[in-house]
Structure 1
């Protein structure tokens, strides 16, 4: 079958980001209404309905930990302005200014542009809500190439569903709709190998419309460079980028691993895919071992991890990668565990800890997978990583 071309993938990724911005903007708008920050305001003898004061919103973003400081808050709002979600009430300012100026969400004044991309996004959101809310939903856990994927559906079943529920008038129209959704980054083939076909190929929604977005995810997507290097998601981050030799923190802060950057990056990633029963790596000459010994005190099996009454709790953690990666090293298999965490990286900030076991990655169950397949899931997935982990109860 026809594979998914690189140009389609690139456009889908760009449109996926736009969709994420739309969702994040709408979630923020509703929260601001609930907080009474959006209200009618009077300025120069004129009343402007449903407005907010820029300076007050900047304070609110920092207070609610949506931004660490004012500069980031300003950049976040500028991104919403760039996507025509927010604008100055009189359109006198094309940039978001941290001042006593009035701004408004375009949805609140009816100026939100309903172009083709937005209409496709809204159609996809409507279909997602209908599918996930159905009693006998076609979105189920299914397996492909020994990997389980949550909320998947065969292409032919989605085509049947669209016709049975009056969403389309013919199978041809349904296929065209699904192809449009894929090209806009709303649905995708589970392994990103195929375009949409009326067949038993498995697809799922790339966007979880119900997930609560953090606004910093918007900047994470903007700042992320286009990378083809598969090492970056797992490499530990630099501590002293201005020096010639780079230092990385592993599990033990008092032990630094020093080597040229390329060697450390290759080592930390290659250590994920080494041989051996435990999945550990013997470095060839010229590479640096990154925590060659497991941090686990003993081997833990899936049966022990999932046993009723076992002393483990499950947590869902969202990690927004940066220009270097996520700042974690995963090792082992069935189950895999967190071997190392960069204390200054995105994973540590999100709450990932050493010795946690990886339960799922972006809604895909991974307890039966080794580090190679987990690394592939992360590297082929979105920049925002949603991980379910299990950790021992202290």
Structure 2
């Protein structure tokens, strides 16, 4: 009798944490859009990207995300326990329905980004590409008399990875797919096999575009992930897709790692891995960032200044080949955006990407007047090999 492998059992065990992360990210985007998250002052000190607990509880009850205030507090405590939200000074580990300032860890760069998070991001990006593909390999297929939504033969997914620059070889593509399975992103339709380069059918375990309700986080009888795979086309087109960078004019300065300070503010820990959910994925080092870190730029630079004849900047064209975990750098700012942080052991560093470089072009497309969210999206939704034109200050 065939049984689910240990890898698949581990993947299923990870699903609740994944759902908390997705629900938390969807909530963060909605709060930014509703302008509940903004710069606030308290005791003569300014705290960027914050919300007031009492106001948020009002919002959760008003928008029927929680039945009452105690339930809303319980939901937010659940997000705090999963390191999604924290008190601005990390002074209070308990969420209180009071006039206290809290912040999403993603907004100040203190989220514990690790390998699992990065694999989740990679899976989400692939899912978005596959769904948007006119000739998508995700189709209604039948195996042993059972019909499966958005399923695909393993060999076709590897073919797609190669054709779209997501993998350099079938071996590398196979390794990526096995990582996705191990972390609960994809699975065999009958949950009987590990991933093999074959005609076996697999499918995504998570519908990243399905709108999560916060009440699901406290529901012990949460529906199977398979049910989310049969969500309607209308749900698939919902703009609140988690971990997708969305351009909101009011969010120009709301970002993780927005103001990572100089080198002395960064501590490298080679045993861990961290990145940025709305960045280009730092990988291979852990960043310990101050609660209110500062920008790496010594002063603000305008596009006009960069383009002025004789300006003290040098133009470089660099090619970054991403690996299974990303590209290894973070961009921030708006018109122009700049490199905020670089993983010293990642692909970007190997290609010559450095902090304080200004991004002018991505794969031949001018991005000088775009914000970091748009630039990040261009990289994350493009081929794995990215050609960047940057300008860096003359030393």
Shift of 1:43: 0.3
**Higher RCO (C-alpha under 8 Å, 6+ residues apart):** 2
Report Cα offsets for 1:120-169 as digits up to 9, x if no partner: 10000111011111111111110011121111100010011111111112
2:11 corresponding residue in structure 1: 12
In structure 1, the residue corresponding to 2:35 is in which secondary structure?
coil
SS in 2 for 1:33: helix
Give 3-state SS (helix, strand or coil) of 1:48's partner: strand
The 4+ residue runs of structure 1 with deviation greater than 2 A are 1-4, 7-10, 360-365
Contact 1:78–1:96, Cα closer than 8 Å, also in 2? yes
For the 8 Å contact 2:60–2:72, the answer to whether it is kept is yes
Is residue 107 from structure 1 mapped to residue 106 from structure 2 by the alignment?
yes
Tell me if the contact between 1:2 and 1:195 (Cα under 8 Å) persists in the aligned partners.
Answer: no
Over aligned residues, Cα RMSD in angstroms? 2.2
How far 1:361 moved relative to its partner? 5.0
Give distance in 2, aligned partners of 1:215 and 1:205: 22
In the aligned structure 2, how far is the partner of 1:174 from the partner of 1:186? 15
Query: Does the Cα contact within 8 Å between 2:205 and 2:229 map onto a contact in 1?
Result: no
- For residues 203 and 12 of structure 2, what CA distance do their matches in structure 1 show? 15
Distance in structure 1 (CA, Å) of the matches to 2:195 and 2:71:
38
Alpha-carbon distance between aligned partners in 1 of 2:209 and 2:99, rounded to the nearest angstrom? 33
Asked if structure 1 preserves the Cα contact closer than 8 Å seen for 2:207 and 2:229, the reply is no
Determine the structure 1 residue equivalent to 2:47. 48
TM, length-normalised to structure 2: 0.55
How far 1:35 sits from its partner (Å)? Answer: 1.4
* Secondary structure, aligned partner of 2:57: helix
Alignment of 1:117-196 (within 5 A): 117-196=116-195
The higher radius of gyration belongs to: 1
The Cα shift of 1:4 comes to 3.1
Q: How far 1:213 sits from its partner (Å)?
A: 0.6
Give distance in 1, aligned partners of 2:78 and 2:20.
8
- TM-score, length-scaled by structure 1: 0.55
Separation in structure 1 between the aligned mates of residue 202 and residue 72 of structure 2, nearest angstrom:
36
Aligned counterpart, 1:25: 24
SS state at 2:64 partner? coil
- Deviation, structure 1 residue 113: 2.2
Retained in 1: the 8 A contact 2:206–2:228?
no
Cα distance in structure 1, aligned partners of 2:69 and 2:105: 23
> How many Å apart are 1:3 and its aligned residue?
5.4
Q: Which runs of 5+ in 1 are unaligned?
A: 225-319, 326-359, 366-394
Partner in structure 2 of residue 214 of structure 1: 213
Residues 17, 116 of structure 1: alpha-carbon distance in 2 compared, 3 angstrom cutoff: same
Cα deviations by residue, 1:181-233 (Å, 9 ceiling, x for unpaired): 1111111111111111111111111111111111111111xx35xxxxxxxxx
1:218-276 deviation per Cα after TM superposition (whole angstroms, max 9, x unaligned): 111xx35xxxxxxxxxxxxxxxxxxxxxxxxxxxxxxxxxxxxxxxxxxxxxxxxxxxx
